[in-house]
Amino acid sequence: MTWMPDPNEHKATENSKLQRELSAILNRASREGLSNTPDFILAEYLLNCLEAFELATLGLRTRARRVEWHNGETHPQGNEPATTGGPPDLV
């Protein structure tokens, strides 16, 4: 059997490094004091938020299912994205 690297191992290492960096930034800015929450917990929370955002916005399967639901239209009637101002349409 051939050894294959675990793709999640790289992500875990990168997340660990990012969490340490976020923790240090939060500590330098003394932001952990406002909520009386340790900086490493706040850093973990921020990473979880980022992962949730990535899943929500980059989930091609979810987007494909929405397009299929709307019969191939990316912006169903009345939901066209605004050209100026306001938040973008989440498709």
Cβ neighbors of 40 (< 8 A, separation 6 or more) are 19, 23
Residue 20 lies in a domain: yes
Cβ neighbors of 76 (< 8 A, separation 6 or more) are 70
Q: Structurally, how many domains does the chain consist of?
A: 1
- pLDDT tens-digit profile of 29-79? 998 887 899 999 999 999 999 988 888 776 667 777 777 878 776 655 655
What residues make up the domain containing 58? 11-69
What are the Cα distances from residue 62, in Å, to 8, 68, 69?
22, 10, 10
Residue 33 lies in a domain: yes
Residue 39 lies in a domain: yes
Q: Give the pLDDT of residue 8.
A: 62
Q: Give the pLDDT of residue 44.
A: 95
pLDDT mean over 9-27? 86
How far apart are the C-alpha atoms of 10 and 28, rounded to whole Å? 27
